[in-house]
Structure 1
Amino acid sequence: MTGPRIFVSAAVITDAAGRVLVVRKHGTSVFMQPGGKPEPGESAAEALSRELYEEVGLVVAADALEPLGTFESDAANEPGHRVVAAAFRTTAEPAELSARAEIAELRWITPADVAAMRLAPLSLDHLLALAWG
């Protein structure tokens, strides 16, 4: 599918147990990696650093994020659009994070949880595999 592209930064955040953080925004039913759109003048890593603090309260410097590549999939919440994500890896512990701003819910998931959840195509097609191999 082709369509307008939305450029974002996305985080693959794992905890010590190997679980991956996914979030659900208010008014949606699909879980995805935290992140968002860069503001003018921001690099992808700078945008993600800002978004992680705004969305889940995680403080991580842009240069501490491990680049994973750029990936494209159908957008989860914008029908007919494609999302192009600069993905980065970092770690955190669940007690450090909470749902903030537009985030309604966060979950730490394992591969066993995937089949029972509504997950964004970007997560299913690319990002979860980067966490679990």
Structure 2
Amino acid sequence: MNNLTPPAPIIDKLAWILLRDQKILMARSHNKDTFYIPGGKREVGESDAQALTREIKEELNVTLVPASLKLVGTFQAQAHGQPKGVEVRMTCYTADYQGTLEAAAEIAEIEWFTHAQLPEVGPVDQIIFSWLYERELIAN
């Protein structure tokens, strides 16, 4: 008899890192208290570029420029609001965009954060904030 428990699932997400004046763009969904880096999950058959472009159009009403997409890195941590052991793996990209940023669909508001706002974001975003701060890409 094998008493090993299966590993907890990993939530696979994509995120768009947009920096301006040493601040990062963050979004908050309706009825949520935590801000997160905009993005979301792939649908079946979507590439990272297709999924991220679709999610950002839905959330922020702007269109990412596919040729400008650049991988920043992949970060993993406990998933905010999930049972202990459930982790999120966030693959992050930068990209240019067309249009005017605005909260759309499930997004209640968008804000520009510095590293000082670390307590207001989930665990994986905290890792990303620190990574950006260490590289002097966001201010304290």
Q: TM-score range by the shorter chain?
A: 0.7 to 0.9
Match of 1:53?
57
Match of 1:84?
89
Check the 8 A contact 2:102/2:110 in 1, yes or no. yes
Aligned residues: 127
CA separation of 1:130 and 1:64: change in aligned 2, threshold 3 A: farther
Check the 8 A contact 2:72/2:93 in 1, yes or no. yes
CA displacement at 1:78 relative to structure 2:
2.6
CA distance in 2, matches of 1:86, 1:70: 4
TM-score, with normalisation over the residues of structure 1? Answer: 0.83
Match of 1:4?
9
CA distance in 2, matches of 1:6, 1:123: 14
Match of 1:120?
122
Give per-residue Cα distances to partners, 1:59-93, cap 9 Å, x unaligned.
Answer: 11333211012211111233332111111113569
Check the 8 A contact 1:14/1:92 in 2, yes or no. no
Q: Report the structure number with the largest CA radius of gyration.
A: 2
SS in 1 for 2:17: strand
Q: Percent identity?
A: 31
Give per-residue Cα distances to partners, 1:86-112, cap 9 Å, x unaligned.
Answer: 11113569x921111111111111233
Give per-residue Cα distances to partners, 1:18-74, cap 9 Å, x unaligned.
Answer: 221011112211111000000111112221111111101121133321101221111
Deviates more, 1:28-37 or 1:41-50: 41-50
Deviates more, 1:71-80 or 1:26-35: 71-80
CA distance in 1, matches of 2:48, 2:100: 23
Check the 8 A contact 1:12/1:87 in 2, yes or no. yes
Match of 1:111?
115
Q: Which amino acid aligns with 2:24?
A: V
CA distance in 2, matches of 1:3, 1:128: 25
CA distance in 2, matches of 1:66, 1:41: 20
- Which 5+ residue runs of structure 2 have no aligned equivalent? 1-6, 136-140
CA displacement at 1:5 relative to structure 2:
0.9
Indicate the structure whose relative CO is greater, using CA pairs within 8 Å and at least 6 residues apart.
Answer: 1
